[in-house]
Amino acid sequence: MEKAINCIAFDLGASGGKVILGVFDGNRISLSEIYRFSNNPILLADHIYWDFLHLFEEVKKGLQLAFKVTDGRIASIGLDTWGVDCTFLDKHDHLIENPYSYRDPRTNGMMEKAFQKMPRKEIYERTGVQFMQINTLFQLISMIEEDPRALDNVGTFLMIPDLFNYFLTGKKYCEFTNATTTQFYDPLTNRWNEPILQAMGISPSIFPPIIQPGTVIGDLSSWLCEELGVGPIPVTAVATHDTSSAVSAVPFIEKDCAFLSSGTWSLLGSEETSPVINKSGMEHNFSCYGGACGTWLVWKNIQALWLLQECMRVWSESGKDYSHEDIILMASQAKPFGSIIDTDDLVFLTPGDFPKRIAEYCHRTNQPPPENDGAMARCILESLALKYRYTFEHLEDVVGKKPDQLYVIGGGSRNWLLNQFTAEALGLPVRAGPAEATSIGNISIQLMALNELDCLADSRDIIRASFETATFESCKTDPWEEAYIKYIEIITKSKTFNQ
């Protein structure tokens, strides 16, 4: 390779965004951060919105900086975000409103409304998506319940990354991996599921064509190039669901390994070659989402480090500005198994005073509340590890095989204490890293679109050569077994939104 290939990854999460330069020299990928910005949901009256216009301005700033850093030598850019959230253009292609956040309470009770129109079993068999009130289907139903004519002026439905790509290129598509999170995509026919849409009173005409990861959408729009002073850079549709991008960067070596994408949410599952939709998946509420390069990802969503993030926000507001390293150290020094919570309890879905909510949960389940901040953090981390074991055991049932190792990726892979707890709870080795898996996967899919990498296996060979991982061994002990028995008792008694 005569010259290194520069690709830019825009990785937008529920709390912030990053602009990452990936440089491929033919043997390795190296990363450098160009820009970082916050993503702060807007609370307006009783609703929670994403500030899309602010986020798009930040993307534009990142573009300008990337163009400057690379002297304009950018082969491709790709953007990924979270799943389930959507937005709408009117019939003149104007943005109708700021998109709602999946944490908005408007979806309360909407699953029950949906099941009145189509049985739960039929919806699952048609989509393979776990039932969560945050799903796109229930967001649309909430709009229709409030106003039966709410969708009359909609010209085009787009998921969040598709909206960014529309403003970047002027092209209207829905990318496959994010489309599969809606709960009205049919993985067996590979198209929007019209029977579900029609049963819910949603016109199929508003949904654009679906494109696969690795599709070059087009060049940056001319107006954007002129405004920013940049060239006509190609925009690639990567696996726009951030977890799907992240899983494409898991450096699997052995067969029958599971993955855990660890962050605000944790997604625990396995990569398969065809859709897995069965009775066990419905019983245990697993999803079958689309992955890169023809793969399918069978996983379960788990509310995870969101709980710790909300605690840290509350502590910071009271003057206790802990770093993540502080929190991990404090948790490591706290008493083991003081109290256990179900992180998926509905009380932890929306923002708020989580130290108070955790204490109230403990009182409700006849446990002593954590006695200090370190004990609170340990309670969250131990409870997460126990939740991972619970989910891991169900994964075996869904996919019909027992994974013999777990790969942890994403920002949470830096949390050594949670990694060790997870190894202990599962009784299996845990390999942690790369932490920037989403950006790496984003960039590797761009490189495949550019024909610089041949396939997913080729990409993973390069990723293993480029990034280090850490291994956490299990020395499973009786206290973890006793804690797991207690955990099962607690979640059996406590109503959760993810059971």
Instruction: Write out the catalytic residue numbers.
Output: 242
How far apart, in Å, are the Cα atoms of 219 and each of 7, 108, 331, 421? 14, 40, 48, 46
Residue 421 structure tokens: 């707890």
The sign of the dihedral angle between the CA atoms of 51, 57, 63, 68 is: negative
Beta carbons within 10 angstroms of residue 71's beta carbon:
8
Q: How far apart are CA 490 and CA 485, in angstroms?
A: 9
- Which one, of 18, 23, 19, lies nearest residue 7 by Cα? 23
One-letter-per-residue 3-state SS of the chain? CCCCEEEEEEEECCCEEEEEEEEECCCCEEEEEEEEEECCCEEECCEEECCHHHHHHHHHHHHHHHHHHCCCCCCEEEEEECCCCEEEEECCCCECCCCECCCCHHHCCHHHHHHHHCCHHHHHHHHCCCCCCCCHHHHHHHHHHHCCCCCCCEEEEEEHHHHHHHHHHCCCCEEHHHHCCCCCEECCCCEECHHHHHHCCCCHHHCCCEECCCEEEEECCHHHHHHHCCCCCEEEECCCEHHHHHHCCCCCCCCCCEEEEECCEEEEEEEECCCCCCHHHHHHCCEEEECHHHCEEEEEEEECCHHHHHHHHHHHHCCCCCCHHHHHHHHHHCCCCCCCCCCCCHHHCCCCCHHHHHHHHHHHCCCCCCCCHHHHHHHHHHHHHHHHHHHHHHHHHHHCCCCCCEEEECHHHHCHHHHHHHHHHHCCCEEECCCCHHHHHHHHHHHHHCCCCCCHHHHHHHHHHHCCCEEECCCCCHHHHHHHHHHHHHHHHCCCCCC
**What are the φ/ψ torsions at residue 472 (nearest 5 degrees)?**
-115, 120
